[in-house]
Amino acid sequence: MYWGDKPYHSLNYFLRQKFGEKIFKISLDGGFTCPNRDGTLSDKGCIFCSGRGSGDFAPPAILPISEQFYQSRALLDNKWKSGKYIAYFQAFSNTYAPVDVLRKKYEEALSLPDVVGIAIATRPDCLDHSVLDLLDEINQKTYLWVELGLQTIHEDTAFLIQRGYSLSCFEEAVHNLSKRNIDTVVHLILGLPGENKNDILSSIQYIASQSVQGVKLHLLHIIKNTPLYDYYLKNPFHVLTMEEYIDLIIDCLELLPPYMVIHRITGDGPKELLAAPLWSKNKKAVLNGIHKRFKERNTWQGKLY
């Protein structure tokens, strides 16, 4: 089974089907923080999170939203001559501010030329009813998805990585978004310390049973100057090899329903800060390896769903 040229339901395929042309995500930094950073829950953050709150590839937050957009668009225009854009609020928790501040940032992004939708990354515990009402309003006017960083279903791992909220909090957020017909995308990290293959696949099977429309599968990156890096130096744990990761990705996708959109099957870490696994710097080789292994295993997304 193929979606275009891939044996999984890729985001690129989904967006082309929805909009009829190439769609690009443009990462924006709204200048938000996070309750796991500002002292509300903790001042340390999740142990894997970089200094820019996983928004390392967005322009600096000091720039207005429109200037960030035009800077990033100029880079894309050098490679692609046509297409439209999803404004992607990526760094930190992008619903963690007063509603009037959120509205201003979102509306500025949506007013920019050729922007056809908005993606908002946040935490399940940053979705109170006033924020949900705002998201509902936006969802009536344009295409919206909300990203939630679950990472794992296992509470002992969640405690170790300092996630700061329970699985029941995540479930409530998914329920509230689903009631409003807002697409939800869930982040999972493969290779967290202490988790084996069965643990990871349990998280995948859980997501397959939830009312979510998309998933991002991340390889665990150990980034310098993070608590995870310090933990790794003091408590060395097994880091996935490229071969292990390739097979694990396919194991995961076999269990996910065919309708679920795969937003990511590997991630980018800032190369100058990446401590491990160094093989992940060659993203093209990883992707090629995954596609080759799909053919070798004669399999596809949802085969075991």
Beta strands in the chain (DSSP E): 23-28, 84-89, 115-122, 143-151, 183-190, 214-219, 222-223, 261-264, 274-276
Q: Would you state the pLDDT for residue 167?
A: 97
Mean pLDDT for 74-96 is: 90
CA dist., res. 138 & res. 225, Å (int): 37
User: Considering the chain, what percentage of its residues have pLDDT values greater than 90?
Assistant: 87
Indicate the pTM of the whole model.
0.94
pLDDT at 130 over 90: yes
Residue 124 has a pLDDT of: 97
* Reported confidence tier of residue 79, pLDDT bands at 50, 70, 90: confident
Which pLDDT score, from 0 to 100, does residue 149 have? 95
How many percent of the chain have pLDDT more than 70?
97
Integer Cα distance of 78 and 80 in angstroms: 6
* Among the ranges given (36-40, 131-135, 144-148, 199-203), the one the predictor scored with the smallest mean pLDDT: 36-40
d(CA 177, CA 134): 12
pLDDT tens digits for 105-124?
999 999 999 999 999 999 99
pLDDT at 53: 47
Class of domain 11-297: alpha beta
With a cut of 50, say whether residue 301 has pLDDT above it. yes
Gap between the Cα atoms of 51 and 53, Å rounded: 6
Mean pLDDT of 237-257: 98
Mean per-residue pLDDT, 276-300: 96
State pLDDT tens for residues 166-192: 999 999 999 999 999 999 999 999 999
Q: Over the stretch 18-59, which tens digit does the pLDDT of each residue have? A: 999 999 999 999 999 999 999 999 888 899 987 654 645 668
* pLDDT of 270: 82
> For 141-152, how does the pLDDT look when each residue is reduced to its tens digit (9 = 90+)?
999 999 999 999
The pLDDT value recorded for residue 54 is: 60
What's the mean pLDDT in 93-116? 97
Of 61, 43, 273, 276, the C-alpha closest to 162 is 43
Q: Where are the domains of the chain?
A: 11-297
Q: How many CB atoms lie within 10 A of CB 286?
A: 20
Averaged pLDDT, 262-272: 87
The chain-wide mean pLDDT, for the chain, equals: 94
Mean pLDDT, residues 266-276 taken together: 86
What tokens appear for 5 in the block?
A: 């040229």
